[in-house]
Amino acid sequence: MNRARTRGAIALAGAAAIATVVGLASAADAASTLGASAAEKGRYFGTAVAAYKLSDATYSGILDREFNMITPENEMKWDATEPTQGQFSYGSADQIVAHAAAHGQRMRGHALAWHSQQPSWAQNMSGTALRNAMVNHITNVATHYAGKIYAWDVVNEAFADGGNGARRDSNLQRTGNDWIEVAFRTARAADPGAKLCYNDYNTDGQNAKSNAVYAMVQDFKARGVPIDCVGFQSHINSGSPLPSDYQANLQRFANLGVDVQITELDIAGSGTAQANSYASVVKACLAVSRCTGITVWGIRDSDSWRSGDTPLLFDNNGNKKAAYNSTLDALNGSASSPPPVSSPPVSSPPVSSPPPSTGSCTATASINQWQGGFVATVRVTAGSSAINNWTVTMALPSGATVTNSWNVNRSGNSWTNVAYNGQVNAGQYTEWGFQANGTAGTLTPTCAGS
Ligand code: G3I
């Protein structure tokens, strides 16, 4: 009896000890830095970095302790990387990339084509000269950093504010409405391994501007323009409060088949209100499986482009703010949709069994011509039977020279499928394209299927 009671007491004490140990273990499991905690949820937590601040020990100390993704705040922009036409200058950006490589951090590239922060020589350009300069710029910069960039902001802030969902007027926009897709295709050709993002502000909830971006992404996905992600800058203040449909807006973009990322988060304010808003943003991202990560636009309040708003997670001395604690707590919280299994950015159609038989096909070309150059999108449509491979024969007019192509192999006038788009089911189509200098005229492609 006594022995039994003693055994029971030991068992109870053991259970309590186990409970204590389990309690300690789960507390220890909660990550203690933003990057580690985000990583536990299959996501990243990043910050904008200025190269000239890397020698500040407080700044670098927080950077390397807390963040596992870096966006150069200004160093990869057009004015920084090509200050003189054709002369590329990568010093400050390379410094950040080297820092990231040495500390196991990944990079978001920002930004290849933007109406703002253009070098003065580009600001003064228009038409074909500007279009060609943009393509050359993207090709050079994306090639220089190929293999080192997780995601590029290929095009930044191309839509206007206000109620009509129009494109923003700019010298780039005036080269032709297709400048955005040309930018994406050029970036894909230069760095096929980087995810390619469209990035904008005041698109954080459903409104005319985000609806216009949504329509563009939907159109790009339908036509095979390479886009992998949409960045939501999320500069939040009293004029641009956190929308109540923030999560729903992220989700509707994700449903189009792109990743979504919070790319430049800062929230004006202080104390509990600011802390709660940060937690709301984190929870929204964790609830959307294709929300792959969050980047804040600077480290300390004093590092912010609008430091007077005290919008960041660390105070001027590098101390953690309430907003830091709420962000970490939200990251450590349980509500999370698992992130998608990471896949290469070049999208392939779902694997399906080979079509049962082979047949004929037709091809049509649509042209976006501007002064001195064009983009051709070619559609291959299978006839009444499926095809496993296709070859399009198409001559270009004299003087037209191809500068890049996508989703196709080319040998002279012969254009054949790549590995992932040869199989086309009866009546279905696939699209590929190329960009060229010169004048397209009327292209008359013919198709042979097998
Ligand atoms: O480096 C020069 C310095 O030599 C000079 O003395 C000083 C005088 O004004 O200017 C310094 O350059 C400034 C640069 O930031 C570096 O501090 C530029 O004038 C200033 O215009 C530039 O501002 C940047 C701004 O983009 C320009 O549009 C901000 O740092 C940067 O945070 C901000 O970031 C943008 C994103 O790229 C896109 N989304 C909005 C976001 C906030 O505006």
- Does the C-beta of 73 come closer than 6 Å to ligand 1? yes
- Contact in structure between 47 and 294 (CB atoms under 8 Å): no
- Over range 310-325, report the average pLDDT: 98
- Contact in structure between 197 and 261 (CB atoms under 8 Å): yes
- Does the C-beta of 233 come closer than 6 Å to ligand 1? yes
pLDDT at 3 over 50: no
- Over range 240-269, report the average pLDDT: 98
H helical segments located in 224-371: 246-254, 271-287, 322-332
3-state secondary structure of 167: strand
Q: Which residues pair with 69 in a beta bridge?
A: 46, 106
Reported as type and span, the H/E element at residue 70 is strand 69-72
Q: Can you tell me which residue has the tokens 């703002």?
A: 116
What's the mean per-residue pLDDT of the chain?
A: 89
Which residues have C-beta within 8 Å of that of residue 59, sequence separation ≥ 6?
A: 53, 299, 300, 303, 318
- Between 366 and 77, residue with greater pLDDT: 77
Mutate to test the pocket of ligand 1, among 74, 123, 155, 203 (most ligand atoms within 8 A of CB): 74
> Which structure tokens are listed for 432?
């590929």
Residue bearing the CA closest to ligand 1, atom 19: 117
Phi, psi of 433 (to 5 degrees): -170, 180
Q: What is the pLDDT of residue 369?
A: 65
Kindly state the greatest CA–CA separation across the chain.
Answer: 104
- Does the C-beta of 303 come closer than 6 Å to ligand 1? no
**Pairing mode of beta strands 414-416, 429-437:** unpaired
> Which structure tokens are listed for 415?
């254009």
Q: pLDDT band for 377, please (50, 70, 90 cuts).
A: confident
pLDDT at 272 over 90: yes
Cα(74) to centroid(ligand 1), Å:
7
Q: What is the pLDDT of residue 345?
A: 52
Q: How does pLDDT run across 214-251, given as a tens digit for each residue?
A: 999 999 999 999 999 999 999 999 999 999 999 999 99
CB-count exposure of residue 24 (10 Å: 0-12, 13-18, 19+): exposed
Cα(117) to centroid(ligand 1), Å:
8
Least confident of 219-223, 227-231, 380-384, 444-448: 380-384
- Residue 30 vs residues 38, 41, 262, 277, 317: alpha-carbon distances, Å: 11, 11, 23, 21, 26
Residue bearing the CA closest to ligand 1, atom 23: 305
Rounded Cα gap, residues 8 and 105, in angstroms: 52
- Does the C-beta of 89 come closer than 6 Å to ligand 1? no
Cα(324) to centroid(ligand 1), Å:
25
Cα(154) to centroid(ligand 1), Å:
19
Q: What is the pLDDT of residue 229?
A: 98
Cα(100) to centroid(ligand 1), Å:
21
Annotated catalytic residue within 75, 157, 181, 264:
264
Rounded Cα gap, residues 409 and 407, in angstroms: 7
- Does the C-beta of 116 come closer than 6 Å to ligand 1? yes
- Contact in structure between 319 and 369 (CB atoms under 8 Å): no
- Does the C-beta of 115 come closer than 6 Å to ligand 1? no
Q: How does pLDDT run across 190-212, given as a tens digit for each residue?
A: 999 999 999 999 999 999 999 99
CA angle 255, 261, 264 (to 5 degrees): 145
- Does the C-beta of 305 come closer than 6 Å to ligand 1? yes
- Contact in structure between 68 and 45 (CB atoms under 8 Å): yes
- Residue 187 vs residues 13, 178, 260, 397: alpha-carbon distances, Å: 63, 14, 19, 26
Q: What is the pLDDT of residue 2?
A: 42
pLDDT at 352 over 80: no
pLDDT at 393 over 80: yes
3-state secondary structure of 350: coil
- Does the C-beta of 74 come closer than 6 Å to ligand 1? yes
Kindly write down the DSSP assignment for every residue of 18-50, as one continuous string: HHHHHHHHHHHHS-SSHHHHHHHTT-EEEEEE-
Which residues have C-beta within 8 Å of that of residue 397, sequence separation ≥ 6?
A: 438, 439, 440, 441
* Strand residue runs (E) in 157-273: 195-200, 229-232, 235-236, 259-267
- Does the C-beta of 276 come closer than 6 Å to ligand 1? no
Q: Say whether pTM exceeds 0.85.
A: no
- Residue 354 vs residues 148, 245, 386, 425: alpha-carbon distances, Å: 36, 42, 9, 9
Rounded Cα gap, residues 243 and 43, in angstroms: 23
- Contact in structure between 378 and 370 (CB atoms under 8 Å): no
- Over range 22-32, report the average pLDDT: 56
Q: pLDDT band for 15, please (50, 70, 90 cuts).
A: very low
Mutate to test the pocket of ligand 1, among 73, 116, 306, 312 (most ligand atoms within 8 A of CB): 73
- Does the C-beta of 266 come closer than 6 Å to ligand 1? no
Residue among 282, 284, 315, 285 nearest 299 (CA): 315
Residue bearing the CA closest to ligand 1, atom 36: 73
Q: What is the pLDDT of residue 26?
A: 47
Rounded to 10°, the helix 246-254/208-223 angle is: 10
Q: pLDDT band for 407, please (50, 70, 90 cuts).
A: low
Least confident of 222-236, 303-317, 394-408: 394-408
Q: pLDDT band for 373, please (50, 70, 90 cuts).
A: confident
Q: What is the pLDDT of residue 113?
A: 98
- Residue 88 vs residues 52, 178, 240, 343: alpha-carbon distances, Å: 19, 25, 36, 32
Q: How does pLDDT run across 122-134, given as a tens digit for each residue?
A: 999 999 999 999 9
Rounded Cα gap, residues 206 and 247, in angstroms: 10
Cα(372) to centroid(ligand 1), Å:
34
Rounded Cα gap, residues 11 and 18, in angstroms: 10
pLDDT at 398 over 70: yes
pLDDT at 394 over 90: yes
Q: pLDDT band for 434, please (50, 70, 90 cuts).
A: confident
- Between 285 and 386, residue with greater pLDDT: 285
Q: What is the pLDDT of residue 12?
A: 40
Q: What is the pLDDT of residue 11?
A: 41
For residue 156, give the ligand 1 atom closest to its CA.
Answer: 38
Q: What is the pLDDT of residue 6?
A: 39
Cα(305) to centroid(ligand 1), Å:
7
Residue bearing the CA closest to ligand 1, atom 12: 74
pLDDT at 30 over 90: no
Rounded Cα gap, residues 230 and 258, in angstroms: 7
- Does the C-beta of 64 come closer than 6 Å to ligand 1? no
Q: How does pLDDT run across 98-121, given as a tens digit for each residue?
A: 999 999 999 999 999 999 999 999
Mutate to test the pocket of ligand 1, among 305, 307, 309 (most ligand atoms within 8 A of CB): 305
Q: pLDDT band for 442, please (50, 70, 90 cuts).
A: confident
Q: pLDDT band for 435, please (50, 70, 90 cuts).
A: confident
- Over range 262-287, report the average pLDDT: 98
- Does the C-beta of 240 come closer than 6 Å to ligand 1? no
> Which structure tokens are listed for 212?
């216009």
Residue bearing the CA closest to ligand 1, atom 11: 74
Q: What is the pLDDT of residue 16?
A: 40
Neighbours of 297 (CB within 10 A): 22
Q: What is the pLDDT of residue 371?
A: 62
Indicate if 264 belongs to the active site.
yes
Rounded Cα gap, residues 190 and 171, in angstroms: 23
